[in-house]
Amino acid sequence: MAGNSLQQFNSNKPQGQSGDELKFSQWISQENVQNMISSTLTDKKVARNFVSSICAAVATNPELQTCMKSSILSAGLLATSLGLSLSPAIGQCYIVPFNDKKKGKVATFILGWRGYVQLATRTGYYDRIHVIEIKEGELIKADPILDEYVFAPIQDPEKREQAKTIGYYAYFKYNERSGGFSKGLYWSKEKMLHHADRYSQAFHLEAVKSNEPNKSRVSYADYVAGKYHETDEWKYSSFWYKKFDDMAMKTMVRQLIGKWGIMSSDFLQAYEADGNALETTNGLITVQPVEEEPLILPNPLDDGREGEGEEEVTADEDGVVVEEKPVEKKRARKSAEKPADNAAVQAAFFDNKD
């Protein structure tokens, strides 16, 4: 098997047939693919459970069924090898389709904020890692220069749940054997809204007006207020609309640990793989950056006539396929999310008091 990769097995068809490609459940049962799984997941029970769960995930997701099979498997193998759940209910990580200019439709590995916290906790360096929404009236002091933040939490859980979110706070503290260093980071919701608008292909803070109905969008404020037609619900399927707080907390954890935290090899592997397609060769999973191009999604109002009722769209980092925004936005996102030099940053902070 030396030198073989899953991509070489991606287009196999049933022996004796000249029709459609193998279904994913058939493809994954091939000897070459099973050998590749075994070389990555050495525990036979884990490997069996993985095959069952990944087949079930693909069977229930029509979009994944059209992706390159090797990319689906590689994303799933990474999640399993890292001990992360692909269950949407748990929210640690996801497998989401993107369109790659060179390879076609591929599945990408998307890490959720709970996955980041889980991997950071496992490093053994942290005594505490916390990320939370800050409600109106809770922020007493925010001094990013001296790294001092004071909050007065609302004590009633129900009242706190109903209170308006004004920002987000992430915090970690190393355990004593790791030096006890701590770092907090606060972003106002306004800053997060502008961050999402700048770096997400999906999210529009301001209204988008267009003569083409499929490309128009209401402002985020109007979306929250429900001021859009129910037939346009599909336009706002991005997690930045549906689960803004989850996306905001993921951003906070990425910013905090990516710039000031210690990252284990597992954490760094997941960090670099987040939002990318993967390839598995001889049990080694490598990142294959996605070069996005527009996907074609059916318009819910399509009357079935060829050439009508379709819109060119692309996908953002939360994995939802949406209308493409200017190229400059993509470039800004990629450069802005590049992790800082951890060693240099940590050295600077260890020389100062908490």
Q: Give the span between the Cα atoms of 149 and 342, in whole angstroms.
A: 23
Distance, first Cα to last Cα, the chain: 52
Residue-level pLDDT, tens digit, the chain, 354 residues? 334 445 445 544 443 333 347 899 999 999 999 988 988 888 899 999 899 889 988 988 888 898 999 989 988 998 998 999 888 888 898 888 877 777 788 888 888 999 999 999 999 999 999 999 999 999 999 999 999 999 999 999 999 999 999 999 999 999 999 999 999 999 999 999 999 999 887 799 999 999 988 889 999 999 999 999 999 998 997 879 988 999 999 999 999 999 999 988 888 888 888 866 666 554 455 555 544 433 333 333 333 333 333 333 333 444 333 343 444 444 444 434 444 444 333 333 333 334
Looking at 209-301, which runs of residues are DSSP E strands? 277-281, 284-288, 295-298
Q: Give the span between the Cα atoms of 288 and 108, in whole angstroms.
A: 9
| Percent helix, percent strand, percent coil in the chain, to nearest 5 | 40, 25, 35
Cβ burial of 122 (10 Å; 0-12, 13-18, 19+) is middle
Say which residue the tokens 């129900």 belong to. Answer: 158
DSSP state of 147: T
pTM of the predicted protein model: 0.69
Q: Given its phi and psi angles, is residue 318 left (phi above 0), alpha (psi -120 to 50 degrees) or beta?
A: alpha
